[in-house]
């Protein structure tokens, strides 16, 4: 077998070199993270060392299995891609349907009801939902033609739907709190806010684990929070590191797991997450999403995590959003409530534990009456 050791700055670059030098039939025998260069032990650069070989006639069983697993992974990625395309088609059909159900389709409602519906429409509530709201308001208005009560009736109807979802923060019998989500949504800051309340107000013994080894700044940020709260932090690179950290924190009340903010539209990152974290532990997982994101983008992220049990959502940047309809429909369509809502950058003040009342209050405050 012809073998070759490649050192590159990333796995994708290493794979390109392997294909160039050994061809497309080459298989990876081993890969690991190494650190090179530096001065006096500092400022070392992180690189990937990959050992590959090629000889199809004498390929060991273990390598054939590895290749089969790679094919299985590719099939899974293709399946997820197909699912996303189907969802996009559904979204397109929904948009076309909404275009047919234009605001003019609510013109049969009295003007006072139409005015109320316009307020909810401005908050990006879906047109189908607005039509149902209009039917409900018309029924109430016919029984009691009080124009001043229309908006209160609308809020009451929304409240009933909110109460049908489960909204609450950490379940105190769950030891491990796994916080996942895409880049830039504020996962690390949110963890610090929740942990600070548990440490200061709840007098709980808390620890941090981070799997975000891709960004040095992310680890440093969590280290600062850990020092301020006087809680331990473990950085894990692989499943064995995770298991050691779990054993180390055996006597702690809650252990927060901060994950890498990656492009979760690529299914391989979700699979990487599952290889490091043992989701069989006594764990609850919160998916962090930004209120400033489009509903379609948020739904795509939710779909990518279909293989991981997401308990509830955490919605960040509430103070930066101008509409509330998209996150209501995201919860409604996925039958999942909220765990926490963040309203700014201050730690730990700018966070609200979700409940039917707090979610209702923030949703209805979004509609300026």
> Is 231 in contact with 207 (CB distance < 8 Å)?
yes
The share of the chain scoring above pLDDT 90, in percent, equals: 31
**In this predicted structure, which of 82-96, 193-207, 213-227 has the lowest mean pLDDT?**
82-96
Structural tokens at position 186: 């504020």
Residue 352 CA to residue 20 CA, distance in Å, equals 53
What Cα–Cα distance (Å) separates residue 186 from each residue in 132, 159, 192, 258, 262? 35, 28, 10, 11, 12
Task: Work out the number of other CB atoms within 10 angstroms of the CB of residue 294.
Answer: 10
Residue 21 CA to residue 38 CA, distance in Å, equals 29
Structural tokens at position 21: 């030098």
What percent of the residues of the chain are helix, what percent strand, and what percent coil, each to the nearest 5? 50, 20, 30
Is the pLDDT at 100 greater than 50, yes or no?
A: no
Instruction: Assign domain 176-365 to its CATH architecture.
Output: 3-Layer(aba) Sandwich (3.40)
- Residues 130-149 have a mean pLDDT of 87
Let me know the angle formed at the C-alpha of 354 by 353 and 358, rounded to the nearest 5 degrees: 105
DSSP 3-state of 182: strand
Q: Which residues contact 319 (CB under 8 A, 6 or more apart)?
A: 343, 344, 350
Q: Which residues contact 201 (CB under 8 A, 6 or more apart)?
A: none
> For residue 104, what pLDDT is reported?
47
Q: Which helix (H) or strand (E) holds 358?
A: helix 356-365
Structural tokens at position 276: 């490091």
Interhelix angle 150-163/356-365, nearest 10 degrees: 140
Segment 336-356, tens digit of pLDDT = 999 999 988 787 788 999 999
Q: DSSP of 220-255, one letter per residue?
A: HHHHHHHHHHT--EEE-SSHHHHHHHHHHTTT-SEE
- Residues 252-265 have a mean pLDDT of 80
> For residue 359, what pLDDT is reported?
92
Structural tokens at position 70: 């790679």
What Cα–Cα distance (Å) separates residue 312 from each residue in 61, 192, 212, 299? 42, 18, 21, 14
Does this model's pTM top 0.95? My answer is no
Structural tokens at position 121: 């429409």
Rounded mean pLDDT of the chain?
A: 80
> Is 133 in contact with 157 (CB distance < 8 Å)?
yes
Q: Between residues 272 and 261, which one has the greater pLDDT?
A: 272
Domain boundaries, given as residue ranges, for the chain:
2-59, 69-100, 102-163, 176-365
CA atoms within 13 A on the CB side of 224: 9
- Residues 170-187 have a mean pLDDT of 88
> For residue 59, what pLDDT is reported?
46
> For residue 331, what pLDDT is reported?
94
């Amino acid at each position: 077998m012809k073998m070759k050791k490649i050192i590159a700055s990333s796995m994708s670059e290493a794979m390109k070199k392997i294909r160039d030098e050994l061809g497309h039939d080459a298989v990876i025998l081993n890969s690991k993270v190494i650190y090179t260069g530096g001065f006096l032990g500092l400022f070392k650069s992180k690189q990937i060392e990959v050992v590959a070989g090629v000889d199809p006639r004498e390929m060991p069983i273990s390598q054939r299995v590895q290749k089969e697993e790679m094919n299985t992974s590719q099939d899974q990625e293709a399946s997820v891609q197909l699912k996303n395309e189907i969802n996009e088609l559904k979204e397109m059909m929904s948009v076309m349907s909404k275009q047919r159900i234009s605001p003019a389709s609510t013109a049969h409602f009295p003007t006072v009801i139409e005015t109320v519906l316009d307020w909810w429409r401005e908050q990006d509530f879906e047109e189908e939902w607005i039509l149902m709201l209009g039917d409900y308001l018309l029924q109430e208005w016919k029984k009691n033609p009080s124009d001043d009560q229309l908006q209160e009736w609308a809020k009451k109807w929304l409240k009933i739907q909110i109460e049908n979802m489960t909204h609450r923060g950490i379940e105190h019998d769950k030891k491990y709190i796994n916080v996942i989500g895409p880049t830039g949504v504020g996962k690390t800051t949110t963890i610090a806010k929740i942990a600070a309340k548990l440490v200061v107000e709840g007098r709980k013994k808390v620890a941090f684990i981070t799997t975000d080894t891709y960004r040095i700044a992310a680890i440093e940020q969590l280290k600062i929070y850990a020092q301020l709260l006087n809680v331990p932090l473990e950085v894990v690179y692989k499943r064995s590191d995770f298991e050691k950290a779990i054993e180390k924190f055996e006597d702690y009340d809650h252990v927060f797991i901060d994950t890498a903010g990656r492009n979760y539209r690529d299914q391989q990152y979700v699979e990487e997450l599952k290889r490091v974290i043992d989701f069989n532990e006594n764990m609850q997982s919160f998916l962090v999403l930004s209120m400033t994101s489009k509903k379609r983008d948020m739904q795509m992220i939710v779909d990518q995590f279909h293989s991981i049990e997401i308990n509830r959502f955490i919605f960040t940047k509430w103070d930066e959003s101008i509409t509330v309809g998209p996150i209501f429909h995201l919860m409604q369509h996925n039958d999942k409530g909220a765990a926490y809502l963040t309203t700014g950058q201050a730690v730990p003040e700018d966070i609200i534990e979700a409940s039917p009342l707090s979610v209702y209050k923030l949703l209805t405050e979004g509609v300026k009456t």
